[in-house]
Structure 1
């Protein structure tokens, strides 16, 4: 069930005994939590509300809670977080779960309890018996990461409602710095809300000032500068990263990963793959592929392959102690900048 329909049914319809909320967007899962809490009119210390973490609590405790009669009410609400046994993930330090008892419960749940399981992952292990039984018994609510256009539409509507005006350049940068993740974007949007409170327009420069960059974001820009032959900009950014305490070896490793992605994208584009096909083949978010496709425009796969080989060789020389890591990286930027010119 899609999120909007699920929220509506939670607010107005007769509730089912078991719900399974699956997806990687924390922001969307929190909306489901709030809808249930509002429907039950309970606080987090209410006697008819309980929450469990299955990486710490045994599932037997959940069953016991679900089988208990509510206190002065018709139903009790139970939140169950991190049911990792629905995925292929294995936990070495977690509690022992008696899943047979849990399967028996979900096949015949108590009508006086509403159990909501929250799985913060986009995929379940469909081969497991518990997964198959739970999907049959529960109302499954989808909170998976949205597609790019859906995230754009959601954020644009939110900003319109909040009276935030943002330039197109600023909006594109905001999406990139929040990795097109709705949860992260909604958290960072609060800063822009405060800035725009006096009717000020959000520009690209304001986004750069207010939204923090990760090392990966900085290396993305460093890669762009190297590919364009912008030597001074690349060296300045590299020096800034060193001043921030980043290690050359780590910068080089992320740069290798980025160039590898560009090379793979270039090769797949050459044989006719589109954005969605490339994302599926490489197992990455389509937005990352979109950015890679933009970066590879006008670049031959052979040039990217030589650049990749050079980065690998530099990594080997540094780790084997043959060259000074800072000098080698600077020479790499200068050499590639000269070749691009």
Structure 2
């Protein structure tokens, strides 16, 4: 079941003896974790009816022993099992060897007064293993996999609406870009924005710009846009700002080169018919980054992007070989490229 269904079920106190929280979305996993702690009224790690085990340092014998212990002045015992690497194909040479047969036997007849929750922060498990098969057969599965772009947009919009404010379209798109469509980061920054907004009913671009910090990568994204649009003055002003903040020209150039490489890769893959999801999978990057790259490069032909990339590679070589002053080289590249793009 999904997170919302799981949260609703827990509110109704419909406990299962075993749960498997599977997926890599950290924010959703934390929501589930807190829901269990709140429902069982766990206020500290020393709660007599709560145990938290890290399987990289704890044996399954200890976990099963606690799971088979009756609650102390309560109806249930809550046990969290972290990093259950033995459910995956991952090899942990530094971890203790686990006797998974003990867990398989327990799962066949779990103690009703114990709620055993496995937090598997992995994309997938090793389905060939007997312990994995038995766990998936016994446990109530809660999926916390990363949300799609559409699901993320909907989720954030719901949070904004629940706070009785409105974020205009331009501000919303900027917010998505500055938070890299990462749910944990989005929720942290949204909380800050909502606290700042107070009685204001509309969140503007100015509010988002002032409250959500820009990373160097975000600034280079803007610089790439300026260069592609032939806006040399804006690109050089941003370069000067970054330089004053202590950013090295070599580092700025390296990120710009990475951004141009992504544009070129996206352009080539788009040409042979790849869609956003296919490109993201091929390049192993977040689909939202691919979407932004596709938007950036769509109006330029492949030859132009190749020439830009080649120019940048050559400049990178000249900077690292010390043939010319690196700041002058970068400024000349921006001026030359922006002038070319305005034609």
Q: Do they fold alike, i.e. is TM over 0.5?
A: yes
Residue 77 in structure 1 maps to residue 105 in structure 2: no
Determine the structure 1 residue equivalent to 2:187: 186
Residue 118 in structure 1 maps to residue 119 in structure 2: yes
Q: 1:107 to 1:335 in 2, by over 3 A?
A: farther
Determine the structure 2 residue equivalent to 1:282: 283
Give how far 1:200 is off.
5.1
Determine the structure 1 residue equivalent to 2:159: 158
2:249, 2:105 → 1: CA distance? Answer: 55
Residue 16 in structure 1 maps to residue 16 in structure 2: yes
Q: 1:271 to 1:56 in 2, by over 3 A?
A: same
2:107, 2:324 → 1: CA distance? Answer: 62
Higher mean Cα deviation, 83-92 or 138-147?
83-92
1:142, 1:29 → 2: CA distance? Answer: 9
Determine the structure 1 residue equivalent to 2:69: 68
Higher mean Cα deviation, 285-294 or 6-15?
6-15
Determine the structure 2 residue equivalent to 1:271: 272
Output one character per residue of 1:36-58: Cα deviation in whole Å (capped at 9) or x when no partner.
22332332332101112334444
1:17-36, aligned counterparts within 5 Å?
Answer: 17-36=17-36
Higher mean Cα deviation, 150-159 or 313-322?
313-322
Output one character per residue of 1:193-249: Cα deviation in whole Å (capped at 9) or x when no partner.
122112253211111110011121111111111211211111121222222222222
1:115-264, aligned counterparts within 5 Å?
Answer: 115-199=116-200, 201-264=202-265
Higher mean Cα deviation, 264-273 or 35-44?
35-44
Give how far 1:60 is off.
3.5
Q: 1:316 to 1:94 in 2, by over 3 A?
A: farther
2:52, 2:321 → 1: CA distance? Answer: 52
Determine the structure 1 residue equivalent to 2:39: 39
Higher mean Cα deviation, 95-104 or 212-221?
95-104
Q: 1:88 to 1:72 in 2, by over 3 A?
A: same
1:295-334, aligned counterparts within 5 Å?
Answer: 295-334=296-335
2:129, 2:254 → 1: CA distance? Answer: 37
1:114, 1:312 → 2: CA distance? Answer: 57
What secondary structure is seen at the aligned counterpart in 2 of 1:198? coil
- Tell me, yes or no, if the aligned pair for 2:77 and 2:114 is still in contact at 8 Å: yes
Give how far 1:93 is off.
4.3
Q: 1:140 to 1:324 in 2, by over 3 A?
A: farther
1:326, 1:86 → 2: CA distance? Answer: 52
2:282, 2:177 → 1: CA distance? Answer: 22
Q: 1:275 to 1:40 in 2, by over 3 A?
A: same
Q: 1:319 to 1:68 in 2, by over 3 A?
A: farther
2:98, 2:71 → 1: CA distance? Answer: 24
Structure 2: runs of 5 or more not aligned: none
Q: 1:316 to 1:9 in 2, by over 3 A?
A: same
Q: How many residues align?
A: 341
Structure 1: runs of 5 or more not aligned: none
- Tell me, yes or no, if the aligned pair for 2:52 and 2:82 is still in contact at 8 Å: yes
Calculate the TM-score normalised by the size of structure 1: 0.91
Output one character per residue of 1:97-120: Cα deviation in whole Å (capped at 9) or x when no partner.
443433443344333311112223
Calculate the TM-score normalised by the size of structure 2: 0.90
2:318, 2:85 → 1: CA distance? Answer: 42
Residue 5 in structure 1 maps to residue 23 in structure 2: no
- Tell me, yes or no, if the aligned pair for 2:51 and 2:78 is still in contact at 8 Å: yes
Q: 1:245 to 1:4 in 2, by over 3 A?
A: same
2:245, 2:93 → 1: CA distance? Answer: 36
Give how far 1:12 is off.
2.4
